[in-house]
Amino acid sequence: MKVSPENYSKKIVLFRYVVEVLLLMGVVCMVLLPSLYPFTFILLKWNEIYIEIFNNPLIGSAYWNEIQRSLFLSFRTAFLAVVIDLLIGIPVAFLIARGSIRGRSLIEEISTLPLVIPTSGFGFAMLAAWTASESLPAKLGIRIEMGSMLPFFNVPILVLLVHVALTFPYVVKTVTAALEDMQRSYEIVSESLGASSLTTFRKIVLPLIAPAVTSGGVLAFIRSLGETGATMVVAGVSTTAPIAIVKWVSENRIAPAAFLSGILVALALLLIVPIEYFSTRKRKGELRLFAKTMDELLIKIEKNMGKRASILRDLSSLFLLTLIVVLPLATLFYNVFVYWSADPYTGRYEESILYQLFGPSAYFNSILKAVLNSFVVALISTLVSLYLGSLLVIFIVKSPYGAILRTFLKIPLVVPTSSLGLSMILLWGSFGLNVVKPSIWLIILTHIVFSVPVIVETGLASYKSIGVEIYEDTARTLGATPYDVAESISLPLIKRGLIAGSILAFTHSLGETGATFLVMGEDFTVSTLVVSMVESLAIPAALFASALLILLSIILVVLIHMLEK
């Protein structure tokens, strides 16, 4: 029996509608709902939460006071981190986009490395670099104790260093992209009129890239506000908001943890609004930061400095980049070598990496099991996310509601990881639907939440850069159905972007700590095992696990670049 063209067309439309509905339901349930569920939980349990936090019969408003203290510490840390990020990130971005020295691509790779290496491993590397007696700073007479506080701001110095290292890449990436998109003609005209490079940057370039600077600063602030894994390693007795959530969940104090989690998610959503605004807004006119007389004085000073300012900028950028990224990683791998067979100071085999790995503690078995768990979680979550992400890319570019969906998909990228972990427990665990208990399966569901948006963004970037629409239109004129176009044209053309996004998601999954720590149950991953080892003072074993985790991530980053060539 032949099907008429009209009925066939109706079936195609119905099939497409069913697929889109199922896809959106899956995205809402697996990605968006977990990200925003703290709000729902707070509303449903408001009476209990209010009494527990503000009017507890035994301790009064002690929880509210703790929430305020942890939030203020997180805000102070994030604010200082962003200020330093801008001071470091803008010169580094200018060096990458406008510099004339060799190795700019290597500088860019080093500056973005903190985005992909596991945070717990990097936190331990930072701890070794600045507190160990055999580290390079210690040999130069610079040693920071774990509890050392920055005067006046009352912020732990090690926590601040870690947050700067993990957040300044957001400034570098956004400002570099803005500089590369900006026409050089503005700078050429300014310099041809006698302006120095510093004056040109301050009066011409900086106003033009101001939206990118703001976006990068806001992203860095949000990232610092929600940082958990590395902070757990270096914080000592200090308690930031994400660490407070982890602590309260471990003590089964869900009410204050949920309330603080809701505050962090709300702050992240409110702060992300300027990014959407400034990314489309074009600045007009001059950005005047100083009075006219002061401005004229600055122009004279900048002209006298000449090329020396550019050289100083480039050298200081390289020095700071080495200090906050290269030094911790180099120190970590050096310590692995030094502590491999014996303690370098006592000479005792019992304090070596080999002894802790294969001696009575048998940490090697724990690491091996954690590595297996990490790879299973990363593989399954990435494959599921790749399937969902591929369909979402096609839906976003074809649907009139695609732009709205893409905006919502950015939410999991800015939600603090500890808040996400708690949300998964509240939604899927015993406090909610009671479908999945804390275990490897809840870890997988959690990692899918942040993996899908990563794959979608890289897939969309590939779709736009290749210009897939032209090939799709050609296929449709030859009678291809929407399904045939997607299967034979669209997805094969953007597969490199999808694969690159999958490797990024896989790497992120390997190193994720904050959310995993809350949902893992007894199934440790490598990143959470590092935190546990540091807390139990198994330092040599933690050295090995951190180095292994970072090395795996670097290998995966190299694979990404091989795919991009």
Dump pLDDT digits (tens) for 271-311.
776 665 555 555 554 545 544 555 555 555 555 555 666 67
Q: In Å, what is the CA distance from 505 to each residue of 534, 535, 548, 556?
A: 26, 28, 18, 10
The predicted structure's pLDDT at residue 416 = 87
**Residues facing residue 150 across a β-bridge:** 155
* 86-90, 191-195, 359-363, 548-552: segment of lowest average pLDDT: 191-195
Greater confidence, 422 or 105? 422
The predicted structure's pLDDT at residue 197 = 66
CB 245 within 8 A of CB 265: no
Query: Looking at the predicted structure, is the pLDDT value of residue 378 above 90?
Result: yes
Residue 16 CA, chain-centre distance (Å), reads 35
CB 125 within 8 A of CB 550: yes
Greater confidence, 215 or 255? 255
Work out the mean pLDDT of the chain and round it to a whole number: 82
Which helix or strand (DSSP H or E) is residue 149 part of? strand 149-150
Q: Which of 419, 439, 449 lies closest to 520 in space, CA to CA?
A: 439
- For 507, residues 6+ apart whose C-beta sits below 8 A from its C-beta are 116, 553, 556, 557
The predicted model gives 414-421 an average pLDDT of 89
Q: Please, what is the angle between helix 363-398 and helix 526-535, to 10°?
A: 140
The predicted model gives 82-105 an average pLDDT of 84
The token duo for 236 is 């000592």
Phi, psi of 150 (to 5 degrees): -75, 120
Phi, psi of 331 (to 5 degrees): -65, -40
* 4-18, 86-100, 455-469: segment of lowest average pLDDT: 4-18
- Where helices occur in 99-236 by DSSP H, the ranges are 104-112, 119-131, 136-139, 157-181, 185-192, 197-200, 206-226, 229-234
Query: Looking at the predicted structure, is the pLDDT value of residue 187 above 70?
Result: no
Reported confidence tier of residue 4, pLDDT bands at 50, 70, 90:
low
CB 12 within 8 A of CB 482: yes
* 169-183, 278-292, 540-554: segment of lowest average pLDDT: 278-292
The token duo for 531 is 């935190």
The predicted structure's pLDDT at residue 41 = 92
All structural domains of the chain, each given as residue ranges with its CATH number in brackets, are 19-60+346-565 (1.10.3720.10)
| Angle ∠(68,42,77) on CA atoms, nearest 5 | 30
Residue 199 CA, chain-centre distance (Å), reads 34
Phi, psi of 287 (to 5 degrees): -90, 105
- pLDDT for 106-158, tens place per residue? 888 888 888 888 888 888 888 888 887 776 777 777 777 777 888 888 899 99
- pLDDT for 300-345, tens place per residue? 555 555 566 667 777 888 888 888 899 999 989 988 998 898 888 8
Residue 151: strand, helix, or coil = coil
Cα distance between residue 396 and residue 413, in whole Å: 18
Percentage of the chain modeled with pLDDT above 70: 84
Reported confidence tier of residue 195, pLDDT bands at 50, 70, 90:
low
Torsion sign, CA atoms 345, 539, 333, 107:
negative
Reported confidence tier of residue 412, pLDDT bands at 50, 70, 90:
confident
Cα distance between residue 74 and residue 245, in whole Å: 12
The token duo for 491 is 């997805």
- For 398, residues 6+ apart whose C-beta sits below 8 A from its C-beta are 482
Cα distance between residue 67 and residue 259, in whole Å: 9
Reported confidence tier of residue 72, pLDDT bands at 50, 70, 90:
very high
- pLDDT for 7-49, tens place per residue? 556 666 676 777 778 888 888 888 888 888 999 999 999 999 9
Query: Looking at the predicted structure, is the pLDDT value of residue 488 above 90?
Result: no
Query: Looking at the predicted structure, is the pLDDT value of residue 543 above 70?
Result: yes
CB 118 within 8 A of CB 553: yes
Name all contacts of 362-371 with Cβ < 8 Å and 24+ positions apart: 363/533, 363/538, 363/541, 363/544, 363/545, 366/524, 366/529, 367/526, 367/529, 367/541, 367/544, 367/545, 367/548, 369/524, 370/524, 370/525, 370/526, 370/528, 370/529, 370/545, 371/526, 371/548
The predicted model gives 355-370 an average pLDDT of 91
Cα distance between residue 522 and residue 365, in whole Å: 15
The predicted structure's pLDDT at residue 285 = 47
Residue 466: strand, helix, or coil = helix
For the chain, what is the radius of gyration of the CA atoms? 26
**180-85-503-422 Cα dihedral, nearest 10 degrees:** -140
Cα distance between residue 171 and residue 448, in whole Å: 26
The predicted structure's pLDDT at residue 306 = 57
